[in-house]
Amino acid sequence: MSSSTPKRSKKDISCCATCGRSLLKERHIRCLKCSHYAQCLQCLSVAAESHHHSFSHNFFVIEPKPGPIYCQGWDAHDEILLLFGIKMLGIGNWNDISHFMRTKTAADIEAHYTAIYIKSPTAPYPVSQILPAIPKPHPPPFDTRPVESCPSEAHEKHMLEKNKKEKTIPAEFNGFMPYRHEFEIDFNNDAESLVARIEFRDDEDTQQTFYSKISALMTYNAQLAERKFRTAVIEDWNIHYKEVKFTARNEKDIDPRFLNGFSPAEREIDSKIISIAPYLGYKKTEHLANCLHQQLKYAEMIAQRQQWQLNGIKSHTEGTLFSSLQKYIKDGKLPQSEIDNWNEQIEKYKRSTEILVSKNDEFLIDQELQLCMKEKIHPQLYMSLKCLLLREAAFRRVRKKDAIVMDPNHTNKISKVYDLLVSLGFIKC
């Protein structure tokens, strides 16, 4: 019979080769010379040997495998790697944390962190008992493989879809990403350099360096707030989708007429209120601009009517004719080239006044026709005022002051009609 003992299998490594005790939960040694030979520290301390293993053999120490502390299937080593990965890579970056741990999938990590730390009754701390293994979540009903992202308006794919070869709007020049509400080229694009190398160290920072780092962080936060504010203004005014045109200096710029001002006076108003436009918002600024434009038109209209009155004009038709004459006059004279245009305007004016009276001239006598022509009273209005005065005169005595108050909107015209009717004997004063 051979005196050699049979070779130990891999399963026997979990037990001490000398005393046979279990080595699963305690520190032990492995022999470098003897294959699959494990021994507990107690046997090693008394130099216990077997016929094929000598105490002088080199060995290495095996640490006990940590058991679960919060959940079955996750030992202490896994929990430490998870928390360290979250600290370094950020919560939610489950794929990166999975590559870092190498033992768990991204779905397993997310389900474990949510169940143990987020939904714990003692959150953010886990409960002080070992929970059963968390079931793996079902795979999503869609393809989760990564695809190429084309968020920017300036991407070649989007340019081809719009059948454009060159960039023409700010969204394309600055790489606007509508779903992210960001630009590839941001305001103060190098602002991140302020905080790129900031690191707080208790053993190195002095009070002065600490406050300087805090100041840099506050400056960077101000830059981020300014970016957000400017992006909100750009989206509110839709500036990033306005076509870029060439200016007088052959420079590319967008059309500044956001507030619909076309005349020089309206453009001047727009230039004054545009500085407060980002703080008012698009709708309020547009309403303010429209009100100011309308006020300007009213002021110009009042000044025009006052000028007409100073020149003895009594009707809007005469005023329009007078304004046309002012446009034709240059250096106090009517140029020879504008005489034909002016004569054409006069003919139109004459035809309009003749048509005005001829519509109901068969119902009027000569004196009434002359009054309508002279005072520019429409025949239908004359007939209405005449009917009103005659009806009142049939029941009572009508004086001139009584006639004037009958129609406050046409006091001057009803006064002229009253005088004519008295002179013709239709009314007794």
- What pLDDT does 1 receive? 33
The CATH number, out of the four listed (3.40.1350, 1.10.3470, 3.40.50, 1.10.10), of the domain defined by the range 364-424: 1.10.10
Domain layout of the chain by residue ranges: 13-64, 68-117, 161-237, 264-309, 316-359, 364-424
pTM of this structure: 0.46
Q: What is the mean pLDDT of residues 354-370?
A: 68
A 10 A CB-CB count for 214 gives 12
Q: What is the mean pLDDT of residues 323-331?
A: 79
Residue 256 above 70 pLDDT?
A: no
Fold topology of 13-64? Wheat Germ Agglutinin (Isolectin 2); domain 1 (3.30.60)
Summarised one tens digit per residue, pLDDT across range 294-309 is 999 999 999 999 988 8
47-56, 158-167, 226-235: range with highest mean pLDDT: 226-235
Please state, for a pLDDT cut of 70, what percent of the chain lies above it: 91
Q: What is the DSSP letter of 4?
A: S
Residue 424 above 90 pLDDT?
A: no
Does residue 316 or residue 232 have the better pLDDT? 232
- C-alpha 54/C-alpha 41 separation (Å) is 15
Residue 409 above 80 pLDDT?
A: yes
Would you call 253 helix, strand, or coil by DSSP?
strand
Question: Beta partners for 62?
Answer: 28
- C-alpha 426/C-alpha 418 separation (Å) is 9
- What pLDDT does 354 receive? 58
Residue 109 above 90 pLDDT?
A: yes
How many Å is the Cα radius of gyration of the chain?
A: 48
Question: Domain 68-117 class?
Answer: mainly alpha
- 392: its two tokens: 């009142």
- What pLDDT does 233 receive? 87
- What pLDDT does 235 receive? 86
- What pLDDT does 113 receive? 92
